[in-house]
Structure 1
């Protein structure tokens, strides 16, 4: 156990701890000197002869001299624990106060004993009790040696020992509690710092996203916002209670929303809505198209209800859509002209009597392909980005998938013959399916076209259409170059081409299979690809025959 002074407060720094120790020394010594001064003053009033007792006068002088020394000694320059000799000196002065007088001033030993018990190790207390015992014994032997006097010494020492040990144990327990509280306080402070740091990180992360976020209480208090929301609505970060400077409108250059119709007021009432369009006119004179969504927040105990506002600025998306529509109109117009010319000349040739049946069949394929191309241009370039391809879920949109696939295979017959690839379609009965014939033809053309493109001369492409329970299965199997197993997980990604396709030198965009999967999924079906390098590829699509 340390032999130094144990400070009563936690050391925040060396100077602060030393100041606490010095104040402790002053407090104990001044308190003891004050009690001695009061006793001497009262004793003098009662009996002026008291001050003629030499040991008592020396003891009082010693107490005051010790007190002055305690006040003037530069304790900071002395080793820690140097003040321990002060209570020992006080014990000696009390011994002199009790010598040759009938006053029971031995009770004053309680002060230095308490001081030692509460502020110093137990060994210092034991030494002090020994000093008290020796002084008391000397006094008894000098004055009145008797069994009663000896018993009085024992009782005094035991009483002081009991008081000292009790105070020492209590002080030790108090220090233990103080240490525990200090550690717990440090842990709590660390936890609070960690929470504060995490909150700052979350706040920084939310401020980094471009979507506006705000939480509104049911009483109308703006509980929290991120930078995007504050920027959109021109909210003063230093005083978020002030009204937003941006104004919401029901449309571009339309009517300003009234109080109660604004998204903030609706969120305050707890309304939940999804992707509602609001136009915002900000303080800089710019228009913003916002897609607003609200979500109710489950309150914690003691919290009031709140609603989260999610505001996404879709101004650029709308502008991009307008640019796309303008481009679509321009491209559609530019593509339709040559396609219309091809279609017109094909019709003129079909009207001629100088062509045989074989040439007429080829011209019909050209005519059909041109018409599909015109329809594809009109549909794809003019359609909205979010337009559905599932035949508007109309159960009356029924097509014969076998007829669609037969037409596709027939259109690729010339290409297969030129590439010396055997292209076959497994015969069978008509297979009626709920679906968009135009999109299904696009599906078949992509699969058959891909199979022919990557099959070497002398190879084969086998196409089959069959019914499997409630599903209709279209399978296109080729003996082409195949796809590496490592490339299969990415085969549907836009613009991705397998390593074997790139190395073959065959041109392509990497969009075909992605389009196929989109069409299949739009019809509620699935697609699966099996492939091996140098062996070939089998693409299996399964589409529900009935509307779901």
Structure 2
């Protein structure tokens, strides 16, 4: 996937790589850096204090045994040096405890060399260190340090009271305990942090995996995907979009005034500022917007686009996603198909007309036997049905968005007259199945429409209401004037209703729904909708499974906006 403005995925950043490499430490483990840091933080302050004491001690000459005192100092500095050179990765927590234990005995030597110096306070440093290394070493510190203190106190030969014998050990034990509890809290917090870090690392890994999957999917599809920020910057575009931009001039440049851009009819030139990308950048959203790129006399491309706004988790504008698809081949093939169907339909009508004429002549012969007359009658009905199928296919071809124009001839008429005539013609067919056609609700309503085309719509709706009805059912036809539309016509049946799976495709061409229907082309409702829309109207339906369906035609009363049928969907061939 190509990205705009240098934006990279988290996995491509050094920060993302560092997080994956470091946040997965497990609780209860020590690494080299932690051990070395702990040793230095505890040993360096002790060495600094001892260094100051040495300077003051030797400057004042107050040391009773300088050699013994110097031995203690050297042990402390030696343990400090060990913190820098010891390979801490070769042992556990007990291994590092050697340093503070050496410090404990070194401080005991300092106090023995100079009892009046108060060097016992230096035991605070190793007591804190040992307390932080766990329960066992905490117990060691509260036993060893007081024991050494009392031993030195006994053998020093000085007189001491009960208070002086216990104040320092109690303080040191309290300091070690405080260090122990603080260490426990830190360990628990660290374990919780590491656990959350591992969860975060797992989520980050899954996010990277999902991002790669989405990227692969978007690069595999044959339509372009581009995302813009709210300010109009491109954040990413897939491979298909890049190929379309390289192939189709002016596709992505909303400011290219030299671009040859045409509306969906292929002939109306429009400004590049009205291109799909320009509209998306202005914040508009649309669905399946069709535009032609290139002059009619030259190589051109049909591009269908869809734009959708996206919002962040706070509901704020996060930009726009535009889907772009090259449908040139599809529209060209569809036009060729419709022209072929129209040609075949025209070719079929001539011999069919001759055939039906000869059948009528034969039926007029009174010398035919009853058997022959019956056979010719069946042939005649089959011929009529074949003629209806050819007419439907031809009408569908003419009504196609990419085929020859078929205009309508509007005139002022009363829909009640057409409905009553259509119902009367279908009564014999309905009577064969004991279905009643009720026209009591038909009221006079005047419209401006093509009577032939409108009758075709009524015939389709009434025919379907009979065909999909129950034996002994009812077909109810209602018409009248409506305050919103002007005129409404409703055909209701008491059949089994329309299944949910069929409702979405009910007006699709060549779709045949229902268990009873075995013939037909599946064009009736599609043609009816195109005719109604050509009259600036609309057709809708409602259904109740097990109770029946209702189809309602909405027409303007005296509409002047009667369009060509080929523009019923707002598209036509260039």
Q: CA deviation at 1:368?
A: 7.4
Contact 1:399 1:437 (8 Å CA) reproduced: no
Unmatched runs of 5 consecutive residues or more in structure 1: 1-8, 236-240, 414-420, 452-460, 478-482, 502-508, 531-538
Are the structure 2 counterparts of residues 28 and 512 from structure 1 closer, same or farther at C-alpha, using a change threshold of 3 Å?
A: same
- Which secondary structure does the structure 2 equivalent of 1:45 belong to? helix
Separation in 2, partners of 1:321, 1:169: 80
Separation in 1, partners of 2:419, 2:166: 117
Per-residue CA shift, 1:377-424, capped at 9, x if unaligned? 5423322169999999997455555644654677x89xxxxxxx9787
- Which secondary structure does the structure 2 equivalent of 1:99 belong to? helix
Are the structure 2 counterparts of residues 390 and 80 from structure 1 closer, same or farther at C-alpha, using a change threshold of 3 Å?
A: farther
Per-residue CA shift, 1:299-331, capped at 9, x if unaligned? 665965633323333223311221123202320
Separation in 1, partners of 2:315, 2:433: 73
Are the structure 2 counterparts of residues 398 and 324 from structure 1 closer, same or farther at C-alpha, using a change threshold of 3 Å?
A: farther
Q: Larger radius of gyration, structure 1 or 2?
A: 1
Q: CA deviation at 1:155?
A: 2.0
**Structure 2 equivalent of residue 169 of structure 1:** 181
Separation in 2, partners of 1:75, 1:167: 22
Are the structure 2 counterparts of residues 122 and 332 from structure 1 closer, same or farther at C-alpha, using a change threshold of 3 Å?
A: closer
Contact 2:131 2:180 (8 Å CA) reproduced: yes
Work out which of the residue numbers 242, 247, 251 in structure 1 matches 2:262.
Answer: 251
Separation in 1, partners of 2:25, 2:365: 112
Q: CA deviation at 1:157?
A: 1.6
Are the structure 2 counterparts of residues 313 and 398 from structure 1 closer, same or farther at C-alpha, using a change threshold of 3 Å?
A: farther
Separation in 1, partners of 2:477, 2:204: 66
Are the structure 2 counterparts of residues 193 and 244 from structure 1 closer, same or farther at C-alpha, using a change threshold of 3 Å?
A: farther
Contact 1:295 1:309 (8 Å CA) reproduced: yes
Work out which of the residue numbers 85, 96, 99 in structure 1 matches 2:98.
Answer: 85
Q: Is structure 2 residue 241 aligned with structure 1 residue 229?
A: yes
Separation in 2, partners of 1:263, 1:18: 60
Separation in 2, partners of 1:344, 1:117: 114
Superposed, 1:136-175 pairs within 5 Å as 136-148=149-161, 150-175=162-187
Q: Is structure 2 residue 438 aligned with structure 1 residue 438?
A: no
Calculate the TM-score normalised by the size of structure 2. Answer: 0.64
Separation in 2, partners of 1:137, 1:425: 117
**Structure 2 equivalent of residue 317 of structure 1:** 330
Matched length: 486
Q: CA deviation at 1:338?
A: 0.6
Separation in 1, partners of 2:434, 2:441: 18
Superposed, 1:367-406 pairs within 5 Å as 375-376=391-392, 378-384=394-400, 396-401=414-419, 403-404=421-422
Contact 2:310 2:317 (8 Å CA) reproduced: no
Per-residue CA shift, 1:45-86, capped at 9, x if unaligned? 343x74853432332343345455655655544454123233
Superposed, 1:518-537 pairs within 5 Å as 524=540
Unmatched runs of 5 consecutive residues or more in structure 2: 1-22, 446-452, 481-488, 533-538, 557-574
RCO higher in 1 or 2 (8 Å CA, sep ≥ 6)? 2
Superposed, 1:64-213 pairs within 5 Å as 64-67=77-80, 75-78=88-91, 80-101=93-114, 102-118=116-132, 120-148=133-161, 150-213=162-225
Q: CA deviation at 1:95?
A: 1.5
Are the structure 2 counterparts of residues 398 and 309 from structure 1 closer, same or farther at C-alpha, using a change threshold of 3 Å?
A: farther
Contact 2:288 2:305 (8 Å CA) reproduced: yes
**Structure 1 equivalent of residue 228 of structure 2:** 216
